[in-house]
């Protein structure tokens, strides 16, 4: 088996992407869902830090490059359909979301409204150095 056969087993979308769920390896909090292409996943596994594919910027997104909020990868999993990846990560800085919250899933449905239920731990302006 070639060293990249594991990448061939993934069912990539027609755009060459796979959705990736990042979960905190410590307490199981779901931090974010983003996308990877083949190169991003390969770099993630080789380097041990999460590298995503930014669909909006159409380029590799080395998570935490600006913010310092890197994700140290403890485990990589694949689902039964081979079309979703899950990472167990150590979230540096304890903040995964660009809004300064721990998790991107901070909106909870309450009586037909999305309500922000997670605190902003750090002002994004100070995270990204443009404040």
Which residues of this chain interact with its own copies, rule CB under 8 A?
Answer: 1, 3-6, 9, 19, 21, 23, 27-30, 32-33, 45, 75-82, 84, 86, 97-99, 101, 104-109, 112-114
Closest of 45, 68, 53 to residue 16, by C-alpha: 53
Separation between Cα atoms, residue 13 and residue 20, nearest integer Å: 12
- Least distance between its own copies and beta carbon 53 (Å): 14
- Least distance between its own copies and beta carbon 43 (Å): 14
* H or E element that contains 66: none
123's tokens? 């002002």
What's the distance, Cα to Cα, between the start and end of the chain in Å? 50
- Least distance between its own copies and beta carbon 29 (Å): 7
Nearer to its own copies, 30 or 121 (CB): 30
């Amino acid at each position: 088996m070639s060293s990249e056969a594991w990448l061939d087993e993934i069912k990539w979308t027609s755009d060459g992407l796979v959705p990736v769920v990042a979960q905190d390896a410590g307490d199981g909090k779901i931090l974010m869902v983003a996308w990877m292409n083949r190169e991003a996943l390969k770099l993630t596994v080789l380097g041990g830090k999460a590298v995503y594919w930014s669909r909006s910027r159409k380029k590799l997104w080395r998570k935490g490059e600006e913010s310092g909020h890197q994700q140290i990868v403890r485990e990589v999993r694949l689902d039964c359909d081979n079309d979703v990846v899950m990472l167990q990560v150590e979230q540096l800085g304890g903040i995964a979301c660009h809004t300064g919250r721990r998790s991107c899933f901070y909106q909870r449905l309450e009586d037909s409204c999305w309500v922000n239920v997670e605190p902003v731990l750090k002002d994004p302006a100070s995270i990204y150095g443009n404040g």
